[in-house]
């Protein structure tokens, strides 16, 4: 399985940049991150990196579907799904390869922002613990969003449908979260806050590495990866 995973990972990574999809994602991500950094830090004269990450974290909901919409739906567009499902390969390796490749592309997109704390050093001494927490929390948040987007891509018939469905799910989750302002009252609101992917990022931005939040993000990622494998296994047996 490790050898198969490496082969599938390299294949998926090449696929992201063999068309315009990967470059479009990088361009949108870099434009959005540059805009928010300029707005929240440079224009405001603010040396606290939390301002950028707090504003940018919700933007992941709008840029990551550009990355996840093709992860499996493209197999149907290219008419390779039947060959994939009939091949003697582990579907868990297929899903993990696609997930890992998407995380690698996200890492490539995030890498230039590592210069941001250095830039802020000119404004004030940077809080390295807070910056580290922000990057760690953003990676965990992206992991959960990517695994969810991958599951949606497995369950839809085209890239357009995958993108639309992923946007709808992400937007609904945000609106009923405390940040979205449309959280239901009472126990329903507290439940929505508990399961909110975006709400749990706040602690990381203050350099607080809460094990419960880390466990939640990793569990959410594992759950949607499992559901993606389960959906493919069910399709293979159908």
Is 37:30 a contact under the CB 8 Å cutoff?
A: no
The DSSP secondary-structure symbol of 41 reads I
* Percentage of the residues of the chain whose pLDDT score is greater than 90: 29
Q: How do residues 27-85 score in pLDDT, each as one tens digit?
A: 999 999 999 999 988 888 787 888 898 888 888 888 999 899 888 877 777 777 777 77
Measured from the Cβ of residue 14, the count of other Cβ atoms closer than 10 Å reads 11
Kindly tell me if the per-residue pLDDT of 141 is higher than 60: yes
User: What is the DSSP secondary-structure string of 86-135?
Assistant: HSSS-HHHHHHHHHHHHHHHHHHHHGGGGHHHHHHTTTS---HHHHHHHH
Q: Rounded to an integer, what distance in angstroms lies between the CA atom of residue 236 and that of residue 238?
A: 6
Residues 6+ apart with CB under 8 A from 185: none
Other C-beta atoms within 10 Å of 180: how many? 17
Assess whether pLDDT exceeds 80 at residue 121: no
The ranges assigned to domains in the chain are 2-237
Mean pLDDT throughout 185-199?
70
φ, ψ for residue 129, nearest 5 deg: -65, -45
Q: What is the pTM of this model?
A: 0.90
On whether the CB atoms of residues 106 and 146 are closer than 8 A, the answer is: yes
1-5, 126-130, 211-215: the lowest-pLDDT one? 1-5
- Pick the range with the lowest mean pLDDT from 146-160, 177-191, 223-237: 177-191
Instruction: Write down the residue that tokens 């995030």 correspond to.
Output: 110
Residue 198 contacts by C-beta under 8 Å, 6 or more apart in sequence? 57, 58, 61, 141, 173, 174, 177, 179
For residue 42, count other CB atoms closer than 10 A to its CB: 15
The answer to whether the beta carbons of residues 23 and 108 sit under 8 Å apart is no
Q: Quick one: pLDDT at residue 27? A: 94
What pLDDT, on the 0 to 100 scale, is given for residue 148? Answer: 93
Q: Tokens at residue 137, please?
A: 């929390």
């Amino acid at each position: 399985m490790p050898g198969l995973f490496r082969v599938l990972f390299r294949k998926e990574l090449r696929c992201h940049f063999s068309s315009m999809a990967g470059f479009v994602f990088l361009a949108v991500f870099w434009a959005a991150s540059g805009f928010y950094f300029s707005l929240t830090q440079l224009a405001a004269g603010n040396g606290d990196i939390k301002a950028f990450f707090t504003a940018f974290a919700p933007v992941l909901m709008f840029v990551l579907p550009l990355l996840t919409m093709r992860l499996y739906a493209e197999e149907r567009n290219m008419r390779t799904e039947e060959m994939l499902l009939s091949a003697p390969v582990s579907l868990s390796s297929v899903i993990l390869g696609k997930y890992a490749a998407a995380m690698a592309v996200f890492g490539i997109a995030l890498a230039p922002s590592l210069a941001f704390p250095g830039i802020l050093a000119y404004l004030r001494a940077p809080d390295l613990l807070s910056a580290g927490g922000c990057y760690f929390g953003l990676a965990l948040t992206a992991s959960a969003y990517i695994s969810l987007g991958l599951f949606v891509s497995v369950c839809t018939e085209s890239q357009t449908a995958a993108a639309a469905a992923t946007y709808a799910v992400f937007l609904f989750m945000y609106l009923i979260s405390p940040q979205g302002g449309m959280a239901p009252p009472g126990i329903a609101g507290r439940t929505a806050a508990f399961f909110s992917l975006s709400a749990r990022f706040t602690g990381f931005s203050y350099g607080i590495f809460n094990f419960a939040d880390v466990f939640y993000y990793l569990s959410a990622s594992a759950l949607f990866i499992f559901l993606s494998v389960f959906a493919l296994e069910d399709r293979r047996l159908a």
